[in-house]
Amino acid sequence: MTYAQLEGLINKWSLELEDQERHFLQQATQVNAWDRMLVENGEKITSLHKEMEKVKLDQRRLNQELDFILSQQKELEDLLCPLEESVKEQSGTIYMQNADEERERTYKLAENVDAQLKRMSQDLKEIIEHLNTSSGPADTSDPLQQICKILNAHMDSLQWIDQNSVLLQRRVEEVSKMCDNQRKEQEKTFRLTFD
């Protein structure tokens, strides 16, 4: 083997080594990215596991509260059954009639209140819809909108006049004070001159 052939082989091996090194670095970068992704996903799984344990604990608490409510409901039913039996066994129909009349009055009152609330709710809805439509884009051909525009312009003008009248009043007061001061000064100089 000649020196030139050896040098050629060394150059060829160097190029192959560089190519394999580049390929290795690419794969190492990809493996690092996958490793990072695995770590992040592991953290997410841990967080989800903690959340799941918390949800399970909340569910157990909720089940306990539901069991407690069911036991209270059962106790209430046990207490109400004898009362219902005693009410059924009472022979005094007057008591039942009075209770029925009171129940009927209460029911009618509840119906009246409910109807009034529904009417008030409907009235409020209509007022809100009217305000929404009237505050929408103004229809210049609508006489009501024209009147509102004129009244708004009048209100703006009145507010402007009120503000400017206050300013004018202040200026008049300042000018009258200046005139009074000047008159007093003239009287003083007049007295000094003739005294």
User: Given this model, what pLDDT does residue 160 score?
Assistant: 73
Question: CB neighbours of 145 closer than 8 A, spacing ≥ 6?
Answer: 134, 138, 139
Residue 21, helix vs strand vs coil:
helix
Residue 145 burial (10 A CB sphere; 0-12, 13-18, 19+): middle
- Comparing 133 with 53, which gets the higher pLDDT? 53
DSSP state of 195: -
Q: How confident is the model at residue 24 (pLDDT cuts 50, 70, 90)?
A: very high
Query: Quick one: which H or E segment has residue 192?
Result: helix 143-194
Per-residue pLDDT at 38 exceeds 90: yes
- Residues 78 and 193: their CA atoms lie apart, in Å, by 114
Q: How confident is the model at residue 18 (pLDDT cuts 50, 70, 90)?
A: very high
Can you give 44-81 as a three-state secondary structure string? HHHHHHHHHHHHHHHHHHHHHHHHHHHHHHHHHHHHHH
Summary mean pLDDT of the chain: 79
Max intra-chain CA distance, the chain: 141
| Mean pLDDT confidence for 164-188 | 79
User: Given this model, what pLDDT does residue 125 score?
Assistant: 65
| Mean pLDDT confidence for 45-68 | 90
Q: pLDDT digits over 63-82, tens only?
A: 898 888 888 888 888 888 88
Per-residue pLDDT at 152 exceeds 80: no
The answer to whether residues 34 and 28 touch, using CB atoms and an 8 Å cutoff, is no
- The residue whose two tokens read 């119906």 is 111
Q: How confident is the model at residue 32 (pLDDT cuts 50, 70, 90)?
A: very high
Q: pLDDT digits over 93-122, tens only?
A: 555 566 677 777 777 777 777 777 667 666
Question: CB neighbours of 144 closer than 8 A, spacing ≥ 6?
Answer: 134
Per-residue pLDDT at 189 exceeds 60: yes
Which has the minimum average pLDDT: 86-90, 103-107, 169-173?
86-90
- Residues 19 and 152: their CA atoms lie apart, in Å, by 83
With vertex at residue 107, the alpha carbon angle to CA 105 and CA 85, rounded to the nearest 5 degrees, is 90
For the whole model, what pTM was predicted? 0.33
